[in-house]
Amino acid sequence: MRIEHTQLNARGSAVTLCENRAPTMSEWIEARRLGCEIIAAVEDRAAIIAQRNLDPAFCLPAANWAPDAPNDYLDAYRLLRTLDWNEVRHLRLRCQIFSGFSLLHMRTSRGLQSTFAVPKDLHIDPEPPTETLDYWRLLTQGLPTRRVFHPPCALGEIGWRIDDGVIMNYETCVYQERLTLLHRSGILDWLEQLGRPPRILEIGAGHGALACALMSTFPGCQYTICDLPESLLFSGLYLTLAARQRCALLSRVAVPIQGVIELVPNYLFEDLCAAHRSYDLAINVLSMSEMSEVQVKCYGRGIAAMLGSAGVFFEQNHDNRPVGLGFAANVLTDVFPTFREIVADDIPLTQGRPHLWSNAKSQIS
């Protein structure tokens, strides 16, 4: 594929598919092995739930993630589960199911499908939209360099290269928004001052961008992702091939290995709780607003137990009651009655009001 490149200018230069890094053979072999394990976790789910007498109301996809929900989540998963390189290499162009934004079309995903064919002559405007660039500047103003998200140039990442080579697009801004909120709330400083690698649990990680960013910020940290196994295929492949992180799918919960991202199917969440895991930070962004109330309560109670008296839960979700779904903050109020803080900031938010929750008065200033 040959696509013309624009020269770097004050606004940035287009980053096209032909610039994406291809994996090494060993990386591809490892990614396919992991992918096969995750696909098996999807196919074995019903049998495991029945064998272990687990609660289907929690363990099975529900609300906006149910098989009959009006989204193309499963269609995108079916494309990816082929583990064909021609599909995997476009993974980032299939992630609108997590963000609500189509990177392929550079606009909101309303009315679009995740499975549209990727044209060989995919066009990128020479310069980024002014509104997106201005928002990026606002989000990163005064931030330490180590807290600026540098998305890997791989698996379909396109946009505009700015500043120190950062690939910027709307989704880059969305994940930078999360990092900026974590920075301004004092959470990242607090984690740095623990004197050891932090322990982080993310519920619903999308394609893994925030995990990628936080693993870069805290190399060697203990990072656990708990998600629907279909979603773990996206994050597992992305983190292995694009972010070049070591990932392991857990079929049983064991002693965590530092520096390895654990991928836990959602139906094994109770195993995490039963293992008395301890986390400093738990994160959920957007997905709790698309879960059932039963699922939010179960996650909330488990998170509260694993945070103990010192950990904190960062949550950012829409109030989705107007569209027939829920409002996670209302459910979590009963789970975390001791401390709730709305993360106030002077930046405009793209998706939902963020909160901090804990079992005791927050130690974060």
Distance from chain centroid for Cα 45: 22
Is residue 38 within 8 A of residue 249, CB to CB? The reply is yes
Which pLDDT value is given to residue 8? 39
pLDDT of residue 4: 34
Provide the pLDDT for residue 322: 85
Question: 341 with 186: CB under 8 angstroms?
Answer: no
- Predicted pLDDT at 365: 58
Residue 168 neighbours by CB distance under 10 Å: 24
pLDDT of residue 364: 73
- Nearest Cα residue to 281 out of 147, 182, 148: 182
Closest to 230 (Cα-Cα) out of 68, 98, 86, 110: 98
Which parts of the chain fold into alpha helices (H)? 25-43, 45-51, 56-59, 73-80, 85-88, 96-99, 130-140, 170-184, 187-192, 209-217, 229-237, 269-274, 293-307, 328-335
What is the Cα–Cα distance from 231 to 95, expressed in whole angstroms? 10
**pLDDT for the residue 42:** 97
Tell me whether residue 267 is exposed, middle or buried, using C-beta atoms within 10 angstroms of its C-beta: 0 to 12, 13 to 18, 19 or more. buried
Are 166 and 148 a contacting pair, CB within 8 Å?
A: yes
Find how far residue 194's CA is from the centre of its chain: 24
Q: In the chain, where are the structural domains located?
A: 175-358
3-class SS string, 183-252: HHCCHHHHHHCCCCCCEEEEECCCCCHHHHHHHHHCCCCEEEEEECHHHHHHHHHHHHHHCCCEEEECCC
Whether 156 and 237 have beta carbons less than 8 Å apart is answered as no
In terms of DSSP bridges, do strands 101-102 and 353-358 run parallel, antiparallel, or are they unpaired?
Answer: unpaired
Per-residue pLDDT of the chain (365 residues; tens, 9 = 90+): 333 333 334 577 999 999 999 999 999 999 999 999 999 999 999 999 999 999 999 999 888 788 877 678 899 999 999 999 999 999 999 999 998 999 999 999 988 999 999 998 898 999 999 999 999 999 999 999 999 999 999 999 999 999 889 999 999 999 999 999 999 999 999 999 999 999 999 999 999 999 999 999 999 899 999 999 999 999 999 999 999 999 999 988 777 877 899 999 999 999 999 999 999 999 999 999 989 999 999 999 999 999 999 999 999 998 888 887 889 999 999 999 999 998 877 888 888 899 999 999 766 75
Quick one: pLDDT at residue 255?
78
pTM listed for this prediction: 0.94
Q: Report the alpha-carbon distance of residue 312 to residue 306 in Å, rounded.
A: 10
pLDDT reported for residue 224:
97
Q: Tell me phi and psi for residue 42, to 5 degrees.
A: -70, -50
CATH number 3.20.20.540 is the correct assignment for the domain at 175-358: no
What are residue 13's phi and psi, to 5 degrees? -125, 150
* Residue 339: its H or E element: strand 339-342
What was the pLDDT predicted at 6? 34
CA distance from start to end of the chain = 51
pLDDT at 274: 94
Distance, CA of 286 to CA of 206 (rounded, Å) = 9
Using DSSP bridges, classify how beta strands 246-249 and 281-285 pair: parallel, antiparallel or unpaired.
unpaired
